[in-house]
Amino acid sequence: MSAFLHRGEWLGKMEEGRADTWDGVFTHLEMLEAQAHEAGRRQEERQQQEEKLASLKERVEELRMQRDQLRAKVDLQQKKQSGKEGIVSDAAEPSAGAVLEWKIRSIKGMLQIFYLTGISGKLTKRGVCFSISTAYEGTYLDSYYLDLLTKPAVRIHRHSVPIFIPLEQISKRYLQTDIRRFLSVLSDHLNAYAGRKYQADQLQEHFSDQLEGSLQRNSLCNLLVFNYKMPSEDKTFPFSARLIYGDLCCSLPTEVIVSCTVKPHESLEETAAAHSELFRHTALHKVFCTFRSAEEKVDGAP
Amino acid sequence: MDIGTCQVYEDEIKSLEEEIKLLAEQYKDLQQESTFYSEEEILTAIKAFQSEFQRESKGHEFQSDLKAQLENLEADLGFLMKFTCIQFTSHSKRTVERNRNRTVQKHRVSGKCHSLSFQLEFQLLEIKDEEKVSTVITDLSIIMESGEDSNVSKFVSRTEEHGHLLAFFRSLSSYAEWYEHRRSTFQHFKLYLLLSDPYISLTIAVAVVSGTVVQSTAATLPHFKIQLKMNKWEGDKSGEYFLSCLLYLKQFEKIFVQMNIDNEGIYLFLEDV
């Protein structure tokens, strides 16, 4: 609300010729207008805040009710299940759509098991798209796809196999004659690569304090070079290891050279030789695990 | 102060929405895992679905999608089972834990690969970490019918120990295929022993359809040796030959036959009772 002086009063004031009063009036007017505007804005803001709070509160209560209802449903279902072993058919007559949805979920579950077997896929308009999964022991790693066309002859349309895997060589040998064998050999290569990579990654991630700098490796992860030390040692990295994985379908090295970086004494050389044997037969990160636990045993000894 | 309260409400809304999402998933899991519909019920449902769809034009796309989705999935599954020769005869799972970023499920699977049956139980742990989902198998337990077979028990115990489900299936697949090949190959392998007089001569007639008889000796002593060269199972890197064959022995006299199998072949030792 603006203070609004009668026009006549203004003119009157003007006629009196008091310029400063005129200015003062204007300033006063502006100030009052600003104040009123500000008050109006604050009022609006307050109203909005209140409305927002109210709606949030409503939403919270709505969600709380929904959550409680769901919780009750889940609890009831769990009680039903623990009461009887095995399979219970729903009391209410399920809709045809619900039955189909159940079947769809059930099949998807089986397809997931196929993924776990290492070779799965789906039919496409012009052929099949296979998916080769890789794992190191119980941990699943990357999977790779191969989009195959089947007519007029079997050929690879697209794939995500890394370039350093000899895909062309393998497909030349087996693709036309025995697709299963082709996928099997390719799976061996990919799983061995994934296994080598996993070991190197685990070493880098969990035992970096025992490594000098970072592990050197090639993209195929079949050549690893690193300098390392035992957990208890101070600053020098007395051992230098060079692991060569000659068999591309294997995740253990075919050749290991452990040498001493410092001038070696007999026991150090013996240790290097022992380590060499270890690396040949045990996974890389597991070897370092045993180093650590061996040291702990020594520490723990009275 | 108002802003503070707003924030509190907003935080609670967010956590409630997450909780609701989890509970809904949990409920769906429980429903899925505690229900079972037979193939008959499924066919009935498909027919009912189709007639529903023909009557109503509402929700047209969704309904046809559901049936088409089912058909596509069944086609994929059928193809995979035929291609890999791995048939899953049953699969049940139970969700043991479901959090915002962790799901633990217990699976029980049974099936066969070619003619070798297996039963598995394992725990599947899925961890959501930003965009990646990592899958880990624990508590793997494998039971195979042909468990006495030393080659089978070798890869079963090795893969079971490390929870290496994938390696189990790869080994099983390769072994089963090889086993199947040999089984059909040696179905016609018959070894006839005709004995007239065990101390004078032994006549051995060997009929082999496939496989090679390297050496056969007729001896006056009641021992004789037949060396058979068998193909090595490539998956077995230990370098041992695996032999399994069907031997039909025709006994004319009471003869005690001792059979030894090793790297080189089958040795049949005949002795008079």
Distances (CA, A) of A290 to A92, A139, A204: 58, 20, 16
Which one-letter amino acid corresponds to residue A134?
A: T
Residue B206: pLDDT band (50, 70, 90) is: very low
Mean pLDDT estimate for chain B: 71
Find the mean pLDDT for residues A27-54: 91
What is the structure's pLDDT at B144? 92
Q: Which residue has the higher pLDDT, A106 or B190?
A: A106
Residue B226: pLDDT band (50, 70, 90) is: very low
CB contact under 8 A, B52 and A88: no
Q: Which residues of A touch B132 (CB under 8 A)?
A: none
pLDDT tens for residues B242-268? 333 323 333 333 344 455 555 444 454
Could you tell me what percent of chain A has a pLDDT over 70? 88
Give the integer Cα–Cα distance in Å for A289 and A296.
11
Length of chain A: 302
The alpha-helical segments, DSSP class H, found in B35-164 are 39-55, 60-84, 150-161
What is the structure's pLDDT at A274? 92
Please state the three-class secondary structure of A47-103 as a single string. Answer: HHHHHHHHHHHHHHHHHHHHHHHHHHHHHHHHHHHHHCCCCCCCCCCCCHHHHHHHH
Chain B residue with minimal CA distance to A89? B35
Of B42, B48, B174, the CB nearest to A184: B174
- Contacts for B27 with CB less than 8 Å, ≥ 6 apart: A70, A73, A74, A77
What is the structure's pLDDT at B249? 33
CB contact under 8 A, A180 and B84: yes
Find the mean pLDDT for residues B96-112: 92
Q: Which two tokens stand for residue A178?
A: 């025995």
Residue B39: pLDDT band (50, 70, 90) is: confident
Q: Which residue has the higher pLDDT, B63 or A263?
A: A263
Find the mean pLDDT for residues A185-195: 96
CB contact under 8 A, B31 and A64: no
In a 3-state reduction of DSSP, which class is residue B232?
Answer: coil
Find the mean pLDDT for residues B159-180: 90
Among B13-27, B98-112, B209-223, the range scoring the smallest mean pLDDT is B209-223
Q: Which residue has the higher pLDDT, B152 or A131?
A: A131
pLDDT tens for residues A220-267? 999 999 999 888 877 788 899 999 999 999 999 999 999 988 777 788
What is the structure's pLDDT at A265? 79
Q: B149 CA to chain A: closest CA distance, Å?
A: 22
Find the mean pLDDT for residues A187-211: 95
Q: Interior CA angle at B53 toward B49 and B56, to 5°?
A: 135
- Is A138 a residue whose pLDDT tops 90? yes
- Environment class of A84 (CB within 10 Å of its CB; exposed 0-12, middle 13-18, buried 19+): exposed
Among A22-31, A139-148, B44-53, B212-221, the range scoring the smallest mean pLDDT is B212-221
Distance of CA B263 to the CA centre of its chain: 28
- Is B240 a residue whose pLDDT tops 60? no
Taking only residues 193 to 252 of chain A, the set having a beta carbon closer than 8 angstroms to any beta carbon of chain B reads none
What torsion do the CA atoms of A53, A57, A58, A59 make, to the nearest 10 degrees?
100
Contact B116, B145 (CB under 8 A): yes
Find the mean pLDDT for residues B209-215: 35
In a 3-state reduction of DSSP, which class is residue A269?
Answer: helix
Give the integer Cα–Cα distance in Å for B270 and B258.
7
Residue B44: pLDDT band (50, 70, 90) is: confident
Q: Which residue has the higher pLDDT, A195 or B3?
A: A195
- Is B61 a residue whose pLDDT tops 80? no
Contact B190, B205 (CB under 8 A): no
Q: Which two tokens stand for residue B27?
A: 């409920």
Q: Is A82 on the interface with B (CB under 8 A)?
A: no
Taking only residues 86 to 115 of chain A, the set having a beta carbon closer than 8 angstroms to any beta carbon of chain B reads 87-90, 96-97, 99-111, 113-114
Give the integer Cα–Cα distance in Å for A106 and B231.
41
- From B104, B145, B141, select the one nearest B122 (Cα to Cα): B141
β-pair type (B86-98, A127-136)? unpaired
- Is B182 a residue whose pLDDT tops 80? no
In a 3-state reduction of DSSP, which class is residue B212?
Answer: strand
Please count the CA atoms within 13 angstroms of the CA of B217 that sit on its side-chain side: 13
Q: Which two tokens stand for residue A19?
A: 């310029």
Q: Is A66 on the interface with B (CB under 8 A)?
A: yes
Q: A215 CA to chain B: closest CA distance, Å?
A: 24
What is the structure's pLDDT at A121? 95
Q: Which two tokens stand for residue A290?
A: 């045993």
Give the integer Cα–Cα distance in Å for B210 and A1.
110
Residue B33: pLDDT band (50, 70, 90) is: confident
Chain A residue with minimal CA distance to B91? A110
Find the mean pLDDT for residues A124-152: 95
Taking only residues 111 to 150 of chain B, the set having a beta carbon closer than 8 angstroms to any beta carbon of chain A reads 124, 134-138, 140
What is the structure's pLDDT at A192? 96
Distances (CA, A) of B245 to A114, B115, B176, B208: 32, 16, 15, 12
Q: Which residues of A touch B170 (CB under 8 A)?
A: 117-118, 184, 187-188, 191
Residue labelled with tokens 């699943």: A140
Mean pLDDT estimate for chain A: 87
- Is A188 a residue whose pLDDT tops 70? yes
- Environment class of A278 (CB within 10 Å of its CB; exposed 0-12, middle 13-18, buried 19+): middle
Find the mean pLDDT for residues B34-46: 83
Strand runs (DSSP E) across chain B, as ranges? 86-98, 102-113, 116-129, 132-144, 190-197, 201-207, 212-216, 223-229, 255-261, 266-272
What is the structure's pLDDT at B260? 54
β-pair type (A255-260, A239-244)? antiparallel
Taking only residues 163 to 182 of chain B, the set having a beta carbon closer than 8 angstroms to any beta carbon of chain A reads 163-167, 169-170, 173-174, 177
Find the mean pLDDT for residues A195-221: 93
CB contact under 8 A, A110 and B10: no
Find the mean pLDDT for residues A282-291: 93
Contact A109, B93 (CB under 8 A): yes
CB contact under 8 A, B49 and A191: no
Q: Which two tokens stand for residue B139?
A: 């508590």
Q: Which residues of B touch A138 (CB under 8 A)?
A: 136-138, 140, 162-165
Residue B124: pLDDT band (50, 70, 90) is: very high
Q: Which residue has the higher pLDDT, B94 or B47?
A: B94
What is the structure's pLDDT at B140? 95
Give the integer Cα–Cα distance in Å for A182 and A128.
14
Q: Which two tokens stand for residue A23?
A: 């200015």
Among A32-41, A78-87, A97-106, A135-144, the range scoring the smallest mean pLDDT is A78-87
- From A72, A44, A50, A69, select the one nearest B9 (Cα to Cα): A50
Q: Which residue has the higher pLDDT, B237 or B139?
A: B139
What is the structure's pLDDT at A97? 81
Length of chain B: 273
- Is A124 a residue whose pLDDT tops 90? yes
pLDDT tens for residues A51-95? 988 998 899 999 999 999 999 988 888 887 776 544 454 556 778
